[in-house]
Structure 1
Amino acid sequence: MSKAQKKMAIVIGAGAGGIATAARLAKSGFSVTVLEKNNFTGGRCSILHHEGYRFDQGPSLLLLPKLFREAFYDLDTSLEAEGVELIQCPTNYEVWFADGEKFELSTDLARMKKQIERWEGKDGFQRYLAWLQEAHQHYELSVTEVLHKNFTSWWDLANPSFVLTGLKLHPLHSIWNRASKYFWTERLRRVFTFATMYMGMSPFDAPATYSLLQYTELAEGIWYPRGGFHAVLDALVKVGERLSVEYRLNTPVKQLLTTSDGKTAKGVILESDEIIEADVVVVNADLVYAYNNLFPQTSPIKSHGRSLRERDSSCSSISFYWSLDRKVPELKTHNIFLADEYRESFDAIFARQSLPEEPSFYINVPSRIDPSAAPEGRDAIIALVPVGHLLQSKGFLKSDSGILRDQDWPSLIAYARRSVLSTVSSRTGCGPLSEYIIHEIVNDPFSWESKFNLDKGSILGLSHSFFNVLKFRPSTRAKGMKNTYFVGASTHPGTGVPIVLAGAKITTEQILEDYGLRVGWRPHPSQILDQGVPQNRETRSLDRVAPSERIWYLMLAIWFCVAVGFGGYYMDII
């Protein structure tokens, strides 16, 4: 495609989805400009700094590494070629309980066996392996049948082959229900269900399908990019820039530029009133915010935007970023502190949209896995306390539930801080953690809302409840607005950085299909190894796949039945 023939694309937002989509469109021949309201790229995957301390503002662990490798592979490069080093955490999590016990989640099967049998008895490990097998099926089917497919019509959902696949994903069961089948103690049911916090959901509501999250941790490990999570997205930015993507930071968008009937996008209008025209607009801003603030408020779009605000949203968080004057060796890289009243702690967040009296929370110590995150001999600590989202969208009427915007937030934040500090000190025996903090940064629901335009401060966008996934989830092609597409947490396939990267591929391929253009990346992942290189090696005799003995028995049984049938027929005619 010559420069004169190039289609112009604008991407609103430089989060994970926007960065990956921009690079893919540029590789496909588009002239791409990314417009970002902040002075940094990465969105929630950005970095906070303070005098030698470094904190991941959002995600602090890398899961589903194959989806990251796929994004780079499709752009004719790799994580390694771009200088990104992934470090595997030796322990996935240390899970701390109120009764003084703890459980260490790990990819080490021997260590897992010993711990599981301690709590569940000798047959407990066998049940764990059965759970792992089910979670493996959830993982494999989700990657192939959901994360790499778009759902543009109801037939995609009703197709008999997908229905059969869907049943294997146990979408009508909760993660807690399925875990209770395999784990008989309350302790281990908690250990194998808390990961729903990644999606901002309660384990008592989240579909069982999402056991794939803890499966990938246990089968593939938890990884950390040296230099912080933003290192991965910064590498994708550089790949995009090599493909001539233009990034404009500190450039907020006021609204879409449309045709006179308000039904077709032809560019954007910036807050500065500058107009930029384009053939395609990709929205990586929060979807609910975009429909209600960036789109022209014609009757159909206004109604749709209002309905989106009433959908189930993920939780918000009060996140603390602490600079310590010493190390706290009692803490691992990733630590989970579970409330004694486990179910009540989730009900307070997701049923009543509040802060639990006794919160469960996550502690990350990036300097434990990557010493460059803090000065020598000191630790950087991130504490994430899930809380309900805000009661209402900014500037709009109340929804049914949420935390009041005029809540006494200083008191609420202080209570969350006291709860975290006292719980960590009492359960780990690390001493008075509060006395080690020399600097603090705080993000609360208002921070998430103002920094990233997240509707109601919901840190993970729309929920993943049953009627918020697949065809029920807002589509990648904008409703009521031609030439406009979405990528990010609240559109298909869903939230979480690796899922959003998969979504960037889906969105880009939809754009290319709509414009009759060729998809320019090679088949993946079946033709590459974990290292991201093609499987072109010779297949030797020892590597040939032989049929199972079961197949031979089945073939013999079929032959016998056929033989008996023919024999009976022959006897009848003579």
Structure 2
Amino acid sequence: MSKTGQKKAIVIGAGAGGIATAARLAKSGFAVTVLEKNSFTGGRCSLIHHDGYRFDQGPSLLLLPKLFREAFYDLDTTLENFELSTDLARMKDQIERWEGKDGFERYLAWLREAHQHYELSVSDVLHKNFTSWWDLANPSFVWTGLKLHPLHTIWNRASLYFWTERLRRVFTFATMYMGMSPFDAPATYSLLQYTELAEGIWYPRGGFHTVLAALARVAERLGVEFRLNTAVAEVLTTADGRTANGVRLASGERLEADVVVVNADLVYAYSNLFPQTEATKEFAASLRERAGSCSSVSFYWSLDRQVPELQTHNIFLADDFRESFDDIFTKQSLPVEPTASTPRPRPAGRDAVIALVPTGHLLKSKGHPKSAPTENGMLRDQDWPALVARARSAVLATVEARTGCAPLAGMIQHEIVNDPFTWEDKFNLDKGSILGLSHSFFNVLKFRPSTRAVGLANAYFVGASTHPGTGVPIVLAGAKITAEQILADRGLRPGWKTHPDQLVDLGVPQNRGTKMLDRVRRPLFWPAVLVAFFVAWFGLAAYYWTPLVGFRR
């Protein structure tokens, strides 16, 4: 029971964004209930268990740790402290091995640009909501936007700094974390490679889900109620169909709410959860036509021994690099030579190997007949059993050839497979796109679906396909944006603030005192420019102007 007069919020979905938004709203005084169709929290960031083996179902690596820290700090708690470090000397040796003596200097120049992409993206994109077109046209943001190189592809930009094909591949592959090809992804996303180098790649002990499980416990301490195995059938509205006021569960139960936050896949929600008015149907159809991220065939292998030749995390790039991305993003299929990623959690004396093979998404949304041809004559359901079998053979052969390990096939005691249909059915991901809508130029900022639902008051979105975008740390930043928007729409203040003693941990510059030596001072650039402009203007005027004849010819 909520206190008399206390606002009620329902959050549909217990993924990263749903959990974080629920906790923030609860801290700000809402009575919050989270409804989750599955028997677990975390969404794609959940665990698969089998006979003592544990697998990360989705992401396994923790990147952009500042955004994780921020989520916990705002809720008056912390992540475990740890020290970041990188080996620049080793990097210098590796770069010069392939790029020559001047290669390291070019690497540092690339690192400087990627650092700028990272810092500007965090300050001017991930912590801001784009609710109007003026937010894009604002001169200050236009200037910032130019520095982010959004009209360059990450591949073309990297080619300016790295002159060997090998290193161009190494420093652009991270766009797959967002389900995009490096030949299409904006250069802004060099920030992904940068954060790996500057802040490190982290593997949470116990699996990635432990981070979200900790966040869920924080939410529960703040009063959030989690109801698992509770599917939502539809979002309820007032009689005029313009305002959300609750939900109807698949069981038929109705729950009232002042606010409904949707953490389910946005494309799915507009097509299946919202009232199907003409406007909603039209918008849902337009969403289904937008570019989606890739899907994957993921193998979860329980081995009967350890494989010392495998590292904790391994990436095997296809030799036909560009062709493999064309197969995924143009043909929506499996490359002839797939790229594979193999995180490797370790049970005692044995290995649990996850092999993720990026592939194209399904060609039609759920609900379309599987035999219906698409516009280009292909079927929604390609021969996925054959593609999965080919992916398995390719991964086994590649791992053995490139590591020199013994044949893996004979070590596999048990196998679980997630293909595009699995991602679609288990998590309601439109077409099985594992990272939601693409991050192409016209799918970000104000072009990306808004956190405030279209045509339905009191309904909001958080998650991969809404602003600011996909990936767990980005979604956590989005949860703050969504929560603050909900509160601002009701004239309420957030229940959190960044405390001064947290600024160093969050990487925020601070003024540490009032003494002259402690103050942060930047060069007075713009005043100098204005002075130079007026001096030049008056000088030219004095030369060309005379009182008798006006301007000289």
What is the TM-score with the length of structure 2 in the denominator?
0.91
1:272-295 CA-partner distances (Å, limit 9, x unpaired): 010001000000000000000001
| SS of residue matched to 1:363 | strand
Alignment of 1:68-79 (within 5 A): 68-79=68-79
Of 207, 211, 218, the residue aligned with 1:232 is 211
- The yes-or-no answer on 1:385 pairing with 2:357 is yes
1:223-255 CA-partner distances (Å, limit 9, x unpaired): 111111111111111111111100000000000
Which residue of 1 is the match for residue 415 of structure 2? 440
Alignment size in residue pairs: 535
**How far off its partner does 1:462 sit?**
0.2
Describe the shift of the 1:426–1:14 C-alpha distance in structure 2 as closer, same or farther (beyond 3 A): same
Letter in 2 for 1:383: A
**How far off its partner does 1:405 sit?**
4.0
Which residue of 1 is the match for residue 551 of structure 2? none
Letter in 2 for 1:259: T
| SS of residue matched to 2:144 | helix
Which residue of 2 is the match for residue 249 of structure 1? 228
Which residue of 2 is the match for residue 95 of structure 1? none
| SS of residue matched to 1:4 | coil
| SS of residue matched to 1:146 | helix
Q: Is the 8 A contact 1:69 1:532 kept in 2?
A: no
- The yes-or-no answer on 1:466 pairing with 2:438 is no
Letter in 2 for 1:52: G
Q: Is the 8 A contact 1:70 1:532 kept in 2?
A: no
- The yes-or-no answer on 1:312 pairing with 2:294 is no
Q: Is the 8 A contact 1:11 1:35 kept in 2?
A: yes
Q: Is the 8 A contact 1:87 1:223 kept in 2?
A: no
Which residue of 1 is the match for residue 14 of structure 2? 14
Which residue of 1 is the match for residue 35 of structure 2? 35
Distance in 2, Cα, partners of 1:267 & 1:224 = 38
**How far off its partner does 1:311 sit?**
0.2
Describe the shift of the 1:354–1:241 C-alpha distance in structure 2 as closer, same or farther (beyond 3 A): same
**How far off its partner does 1:53 sit?**
1.4
Of 495, 510, 523, the residue aligned with 1:520 is 495
Distance in 2, Cα, partners of 1:180 & 1:229 = 33
Distance in 1, Cα, partners of 2:500 & 2:471 = 19
**How far off its partner does 1:546 sit?**
6.4
1:367-406 CA-partner distances (Å, limit 9, x unpaired): 2xxxxxx1x2211111100000001011137665797443
Q: Which runs of 5+ in 2 are unaligned?
A: 544-553
Alignment of 1:423-434 (within 5 A): 423-434=398-409
1:71-120 CA-partner distances (Å, limit 9, x unpaired): 0111111123xxxx7797x9xxxxxxxxxxxxxxxx31111110110110
Distance in 2, Cα, partners of 1:381 & 1:273 = 41
Of 170, 174, 181, the residue aligned with 1:195 is 174
Distance in 2, Cα, partners of 1:300 & 1:177 = 40
Q: Which runs of 5+ in 1 are unaligned?
A: 91-106, 368-373, 570-574
1:142-173 CA-partner distances (Å, limit 9, x unpaired): 00000000000000011111011000000000
Letter in 2 for 1:415: R
Letter in 2 for 1:65: P
**How far off its partner does 1:539 sit?**
7.6
| SS of residue matched to 1:118 | helix
Distance in 2, Cα, partners of 1:170 & 1:61 = 27
Which residue of 2 is the match for residue 259 of structure 1? 238
| SS of residue matched to 1:323 | strand
Which residue of 2 is the match for residue 303 of structure 1? 282
Letter in 1 for 2:467: H
Distance in 2, Cα, partners of 1:138 & 1:525 = 26
Distance in 1, Cα, partners of 2:442 & 2:377 = 20
**How far off its partner does 1:544 sit?**
5.1
Q: Is the 8 A contact 2:298 2:419 kept in 1?
A: yes
User: Runs in 1 of length 4+ with deviation above 4 angstroms?
Assistant: 85-88, 397-403, 524-527, 531-548
- Judge which range, 401-410 or 256-265, deviates more: 401-410
| SS of residue matched to 1:143 | helix
Distance in 2, Cα, partners of 1:302 & 1:251 = 25
**How far off its partner does 1:409 sit?**
2.1
| SS of residue matched to 1:476 | coil
Distance in 2, Cα, partners of 1:319 & 1:108 = 32
What is the TM-score with the length of structure 1 in the denominator?
0.88
Distance in 2, Cα, partners of 1:54 & 1:541 = 55
Q: Is the 8 A contact 2:512 2:518 kept in 1?
A: no
Q: Cα RMSD between the aligned structures? A: 2.7
Letter in 2 for 1:15: G
1:402-427 CA-partner distances (Å, limit 9, x unpaired): 97443332221111000000000001
Letter in 1 for 2:121: S
Describe the shift of the 1:526–1:180 C-alpha distance in structure 2 as closer, same or farther (beyond 3 A): farther
- The yes-or-no answer on 1:151 pairing with 2:130 is yes
Describe the shift of the 1:458–1:516 C-alpha distance in structure 2 as closer, same or farther (beyond 3 A): same
Which residue of 1 is the match for residue 162 of structure 2? 183
Which residue of 1 is the match for residue 310 of structure 2? 331
Aligned residues: percent identity? 76
Which residue of 1 is the match for residue 47 of structure 2? 47
Letter in 1 for 2:364: Q
Q: Is the 8 A contact 2:155 2:168 kept in 1?
A: yes
Distance in 1, Cα, partners of 2:173 & 2:376 = 23
Distance in 1, Cα, partners of 2:377 & 2:229 = 31
1:466-525 CA-partner distances (Å, limit 9, x unpaired): 000000000000001111000000000000000000000000000000011112211379
Distance in 1, Cα, partners of 2:146 & 2:381 = 44
Q: Is the 8 A contact 1:391 1:402 kept in 2?
A: no
Q: Is the 8 A contact 2:511 2:519 kept in 1?
A: no
Distance in 1, Cα, partners of 2:92 & 2:501 = 31
Which residue of 1 is the match for residue 102 of structure 2? 123
